Amino acid sequence: MDQAPMTSPLKDRVTDDMKAAMRARDAARLGAIRMLLAACKQREVDERITLDDAAVVAIVDKLIKQRKDSITAFTQAGRSDLVDKETAELQVLQAYLPQRLSADEVDAVVAALVAELGAGQALGPGDMGKVMGAAKAHLAGKADMGLVSGAVKRALAG
């Protein structure tokens, strides 16, 4: 007998929130949640996988980055109506992210990674990709990658 694939508790929570938004007739929240579920489903179909929580968080991170980029572009274009829509979607999406690490915690993790990767040799700015790859593996979903990138640059410069 085939077992049903394990589902992500986070994805289950998103689905439950979608049902609640439907019952509450909250169109703005419902639209943002449906967009997230569609992105999850698309990835599952494209890659023939069942998403775990880490993969769902990665999708949420990607959608949040898109919303932030759109808000910047719409603000420059003077489209406050679209800025408001994107901001509302951003707030809905941020509710699905786990607690983020502080800047100090990110700096500490990056410093430890640089020490680990550079054992016996000095790492410099040319090793940014090497350190970022390790940092991404350790901090994906736990910290804003822009913050991580800044911490890596500081660690390699100093």
Encoded tokens for 12: 């289950």
Q: Is residue 131 within 8 Å of residue 117, measured between CB atoms?
A: yes
pLDDT of residue 3: 46
Q: How many CB atoms lie within 10 A of CB 90?
A: 17
Residue 66, judged by CB atoms within 10 A of its CB (0-12, 13-18, 19+), counts as: middle
Q: Exposed e or buried b for every residue in 29-41, given b needs 16+ CB within 10 A?
A: bbebbebbbebbe
Ramachandran bin of 61, using left for φ above 0, alpha for ψ from -120 to 50, beta for the remaining angles: alpha
| Contact (Cβ atoms closer than 8 angstroms) between residue 67 and residue 112 | no
Angle (nearest 5°) at CA 23 between 22 and 26: 55
So what's the pLDDT on residue 83?
93
Quote the CA–CA distance of 145 and 158 in Å, as a whole number.
Answer: 20
Q: What does the mean pLDDT of the chain come to?
A: 84
Alpha helices in 48-127 (DSSP H): 53-77, 80-94, 103-117
pLDDT digits (tens, 9 = 90+) for 71-129: 999 999 999 999 999 999 999 999 988 888 778 888 888 888 877 776 556 666 667 77
User: Domains of the chain, with CATH numbers?
Assistant: 9-94 (1.10.1510.10), 103-157 (1.10.10.410)
Q: What pLDDT does 132 receive?
A: 82
pTM comes to: 0.73
pLDDT for res 88: 93
Question: What secondary structure letter does DSSP report for 120?
Answer: T
Least confident of 54-58, 95-99, 139-143: 139-143
Decide: 35 and 89 in contact? Cβ < 8 Å.
yes
DSSP percent split of the chain into helix, strand, coil, nearest 5 = 75, 0, 25
Give residue 125's pLDDT. 64
What mean pLDDT comes out for the span 4-15? 78
